[in-house]
């Protein structure tokens, strides 16, 4: 016999939309920085320097085997004990970058190892430097191979970002919590929040599909 009342939610829809925009900004920034971290760590993990591989492996295992909520609490509440105090939004961004970096490293590593050694040897024989071989022969084909996995990880990252509201960072989940506290229309508020997250996920999936067709339209043999 529950009677739905979306009027209070519609009155505060601007707050939810602004929270969604903040979520998109946070997620995109975390993905770009996390992708840089992933590429650096993946190249280090596939190097011949054993101590460097051990450090990267330890980083990956720690992040992949601990809850994201604990990671963000460690950064926001733990680092101030060492003299590093971050704002909620900065702590949220750092936590997302560190988390994405660990998962992205394994994804990109798999892409790098899928490249045939003969192609790398051919690049070296043509006089290309190691950096040029990595940039022109390894990186783009590897990204083409792992692109679907990376985009799925981004969608997961965007949805996981809702956890940052636990440290009062600004995002859609935080906006939903604030609106729910003001209106007490819990059911209606979280229905709308759920639909917004769903719309963002579907929208980014469509955008990534367009980018994939535009950026990787040629076969690997060319």
Where are the chain's structural domains?
A: 7-215
What mean pLDDT value characterizes the chain? 88
- Residue 111 has a pLDDT of 83
* φ/ψ (deg, to 5) at 47: -80, 180
Between 97 and 142, whose confidence is greater?
A: 97
Q: What is the mean pLDDT of residues 33-61?
A: 90
Q: What is the mean pLDDT of residues 143-170?
A: 90
Give pLDDT tens digits for 26-45. 999 999 999 999 989 988 88
Of 140, 125, 158, give the one whose Cα is nearest residue 19: 158
Between 17 and 140, whose confidence is greater?
A: 17
- Residue 220 has a pLDDT of 45
pLDDT of residue 221 exceeding 60: no
pLDDT of residue 156 exceeding 90: yes
- Residue 140 has a pLDDT of 74
List Cα–Cα distances, 40 to 34, 109, 161, in angstroms.
10, 10, 23
Give pLDDT tens digits for 87-103. 999 999 999 999 999 99
Both tokens assigned to 41: 């760590």
- Residue 60 has a pLDDT of 95
- Residue 222 has a pLDDT of 38
CATH code, 7-215? 1.10.3720.10
- Residue 210 has a pLDDT of 92
């Amino acid at each position: 016999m529950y009677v739905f009342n979306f009027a209070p939610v519609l009155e505060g829809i601007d707050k939810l939309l602004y929270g969604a925009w903040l979520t998109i900004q946070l997620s995109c920034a975390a993905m770009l920085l996390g992708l840089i971290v992933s590429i650096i760590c993946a190249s280090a993990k596939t190097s011949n320097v054993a101590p460097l591989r051990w450090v990267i492996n330890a980083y990956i295992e720690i992040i992949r085997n601990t809850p994201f909520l604990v990671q963000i609490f460690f950064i926001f509440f733990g680092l101030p004990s060492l003299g590093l105090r971050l704002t909620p939004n900065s702590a949220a961004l750092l936590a997302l970058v560190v988390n994405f970096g660990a998962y992205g490293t394994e994804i990109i590593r798999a892409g790098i190892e899928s490249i045939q050694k003969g192609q790398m040897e051919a690049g070296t024989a043509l006089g290309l430097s190691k950096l040029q071989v990595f940039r022109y022969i390894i990186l783009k084909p590897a990204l083409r191979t792992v692109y679907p996995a990376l985009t799925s990880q981004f969608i997961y990252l965007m949805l996981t970002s809702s956890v940052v509201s636990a440290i009062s960072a600004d995002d859609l989940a935080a906006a939903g919590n604030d609106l729910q506290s003001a209106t007490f229309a819990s059911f209606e508020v979280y229905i709308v929040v759920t639909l917004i997250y769903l719309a963002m996920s579907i929208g980014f999936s469509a955008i990534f599909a367009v980018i994939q067709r535009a950026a990787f339209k040629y076969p690997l043999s060319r």
